[in-house]
Amino acid sequence: MSKPYRRLDIHNAAVLLVDHQAGLLSLVRDFNPDPFRNNVLALADLAAYFKLPVVLTTSFEEGPNGPLMPELREKFPDAPFIPRPGQINAWDNEDFVKAVKATGRKQLILAGVVTEVCVAFPALSALEEDFEVFVVTDASGTFNEVSRHASWDRMSQAGAQLMTWFAVAAELHRDWRRDVEGLGALFSNHIPDYRNLITSYNTFKASKPQLKAVP
């Protein structure tokens, strides 16, 4: 059954980054390491660009899962950081759920490692509590494509929307006139070929009147 189009809203969205930890990252095999790291950092950059609330969490850091990607702590030094002592499903951790609810947002943009556990479990739990969940597929990784598609099917059938970080950014932005240079720089920093578009745009801009900004 088809569902109505629910658009991401910068005034109602928060970003949850779950278990992007050194040990767990070594398990990701459905993406190559460098592109995957780039996707995670792109999601982090768009969260900062749109000034979205961010919640960070890790699981059992003292064990083989290891510490959170340092870039995420550096980018969001003031964001809630919940080092879970053992709970596999982040939603089973009371502090994490409190931090999510404290954002006041009902749209949860979620990514993590590994997809079928660290993403799927809190996604399903949040859906049960009437949150809208948007899973960032290319910033979530797992062992192989079988695991990936099984978890995608499970989450989408429960009502989660599957997106890429690029689509998340575009849907939040909605109108290029809001800020051409800012969004263009974000895309160019994470998609090298996109720089060709920005070069073309800059050439065009130099010979044409400026686009009127949208408030």
Active site residues: 118
Amino acid at 143: F
SS3 label, residue 163 = strand
Report in angstroms the alpha-carbon separations of 140 from 10, 29, 111, 162, 165: 21, 11, 5, 11, 10
Give CA–CA dist 116/150, Å, rounded. Answer: 8
Give CA–CA dist 183/177, Å, rounded. Answer: 10
Residue for token pair 């044409």: 208
Give CA–CA dist 43/166, Å, rounded. Answer: 8
The first and second tokens of residue 159, run together, are: 């009502």
DSSP letters along 80-130, please?
-EEEESS-SSGGG-HHHHHHHHHTT-SEEEEEEBSIIIIIHHHHHHHHHTT
Question: Could you tell me if 2 and 50 are in contact, meaning their C-beta atoms sit under 8 angstroms apart?
Answer: no
